[in-house]
Every structure is written in structure tokens, then in C-alpha cells.
Amino acid sequence: MRVYLASVATDGKANSHALARPPVTFSFVQPTSVEAALRAVGTPGSVAIAGGTDLLLDFDNQRIAADRVVSLNGLPWKHLTRAGGRLVVGSTLPLRRIELDPRVAVDLPGLYQSVHAVGGVPLRHRATMGGNLVRASPASDLLPVLLALEATVHIVGAYGSRASSLDDFLRGSRSVDLAPGELIESVSVPYPAPSAYVWQRVRPAKDISQVGVAVARVPGAGHWNVALGGVVPRPIRSPSAERHLTRLRPKAEEITRAAEAASEGVAFATDRRASEAYRHLLVSVLVRRALDKAIPPEAPS
């Protein structure tokens, strides 16, 4: 099938700036087996699509070009399963399915909060976990939580399957450890895990976060993990903050030291969304808020 993609403004009218250039054209295929999908994406000039919430915009803005778009929606990866103490999220599962699973909010509250922070409900019906991982946006609401939860990315390719920690998988903005012809099959995280995700935006609704902070204490860990998004070209962990958070219920002064360490650990970016100084302030505040949300209350005596 051949597809012709023309630019359209939000009011439904043709984009006048785009009319000067020809519409984007590409062939569209939807394999029904993993083997066929791997062959298709391994062909030069091909790009994979799941939800398409970002890819079509990339075409429209001429950030990418491809002769063929390979839909992954015919693959058996729209699943949410639990095995061996891990939650396994199929790469093509819409985020809305994660949000509506009642156990996610209980077992992994930080993951639920981060999914809920992504766009609006219509977008979450389309957006997928795999697409968010591959896009690797510095301002992603999902990646900080997955980093704090020590997520594992499960990858398939023509030469077999492999697993990578999310920290190793992320290389930079729009840059990940995914070879040509490889696809993300799923991502898994340990559960249950006390966790939280908080963010700051210019506009609360459907905007991109200036800074996002996630905290989590995964089973068997000796400290709270702290992850920051929106501050450098890729989401990062903050070991300097984590050193102060060895207790399940840290003392107030330990939380203060952790917040200061997270804010002062690295140089942050300045861009059109926020200055470096403002981001330092936000991180300090949001680390405190995230820990306040995530730390379990004392058991009644």
C-alpha cells in the first residue's frame, strides 16, 4: 500500500508552509509474524511504527525520511504480564492499557503516575512503551521512572534476542542502543516497588515537562533510586542523591541532603522551556516531593 501524507494544521486546514513542498510518500506494510517484521525493518529505507504519535510528526517536519513504514501492530506484543516478580510490558501495548490495570497503581505507583502524565487520554490510547523508549526524549515522562525501577529492555533481531538495562540502552536524545533490523519486544521492571513520579510544566495539561523526577526502591535494593528527566540530553540517575537515602524511611535531613545533591550533581541544560538555574531549583523541590509521595507510612503501633 502506498501512503501520501500532507501537512494539516490543528484547525484542519492545510499547512501553508508545507504546501510549498510535495507530500511525503511511502509504502506501508504490516507483517503478522516477528520473523517477517525483522526482515522488513532490516531493509534499507524502512522505519517501524507502533502508535505513530511522534513518527508522523517527524515525517511532517522532515526530521526523518523513509521509503517504507513497517507497522508492528500485527505482532503479539500487546501484553501486560507478571512473571518471576517482574511486570512485563509488551512494546506495542498502548499506554492507556497500563493506566487502566488496577494492580499497576498499587504495585508500581510511580509507573502509573508517569503514564498518566503522558498527554491526554486519546494520545495514551495510541502511544506505546516501545515507541517512547526508541524516541528517547530528554523530557519523557516514562523514562525517569523506568530508570529508577531499573528496567530491562528486551530486544529481538535477526541474530537472536538480547536484554539491556535501560541505563545502557539510552545513549542520548533520540539515540539508543538498537542496531539496524532490531526491535524492542518488551520492557520489564521488578514489582512491587514503592515509587513516585512528579513533574513541573508551564501548562499542566498536555504540555512537555520542564523537569521530571522519579524515585523508587526496588526489591532487594539498599537505597532509594533517584532519576531525573529534562535536565540533560537523556534521563539520568543521581548516585550522589541516592547515597543519602539508604533507609526505607529516610530522615528529614537525609531527604534535604539528597535533594541538594541531585540538584548540584551535574550541569543542567538551558533551553526555551527553562533556564539551568530554574532547573536546579526544580530538581531540589521535586526530589523532596517525590520522596514524600513514595515513602511508605509508619505501621500503626
Name the CATH code of domain 195-294 (choices 3.20.20.140, 3.40.50.300, 3.90.245.10, 3.30.390.50).
3.30.390.50
Q: What is the pLDDT of residue 83?
A: 94
Q: Report d(CA 210, CA 231) in Å as an integer.
A: 8
Q: What is the pLDDT of residue 205?
A: 64
Q: What is the pLDDT of residue 23?
A: 75
| Extents of the domains making up the chain | 2-71, 80-190, 195-294
CB environment 9-26: b (16+ within 10 A), e (fewer)? eeeeeeeeebeeeeebeb
Q: CA angle, 274 as apex, 272 and 278 as ends, to 5°?
A: 160
Question: In this structure, are residues 199 and 286 in contact, taking their beta carbons and an 8 Å threshold?
Answer: yes
Q: Which amino acid is at 64?
A: I
CB environment 70-104: b (16+ within 10 A), e (fewer)? bbbebbebbebeeeeebbbbbbbbbbbbbbebeeb
For cell 505513530, name the residue: 52
Q: Report d(CA 131, CA 110) in Å as an integer.
A: 19
Q: What is the pLDDT of residue 136?
A: 93
Q: What is the pLDDT of residue 63?
A: 81
Q: pTM here? A: 0.91
Instruction: Return per-residue pLDDT of the chain as tens, 301 residues.
Output: 666 555 544 444 555 555 556 677 889 999 999 999 999 999 999 999 999 888 877 877 778 888 899 999 999 999 999 999 999 999 999 999 999 999 999 999 999 999 999 999 999 999 999 999 999 999 999 999 999 999 999 999 999 999 999 999 999 998 999 999 999 999 999 999 999 999 998 876 667 899 999 999 999 989 999 999 999 999 999 999 999 999 999 999 999 999 999 999 789 999 988 999 999 999 999 999 999 999 999 877 5
Q: What is the pLDDT of residue 64?
A: 82
Q: What is the pLDDT of residue 56?
A: 74
Q: What is the pLDDT of residue 10?
A: 45
Q: Which CATH architecture has domain 2-71?
A: 2-Layer Sandwich (3.30)
Question: Is residue 160 classed as helix, strand or coil in its secondary structure?
Answer: strand
Q: What is the pLDDT of residue 59?
A: 79
Q: What is the pLDDT of residue 85?
A: 96
The CATH number given to 80-190 is 3.30.465.10
Q: What is the pLDDT of residue 181?
A: 94
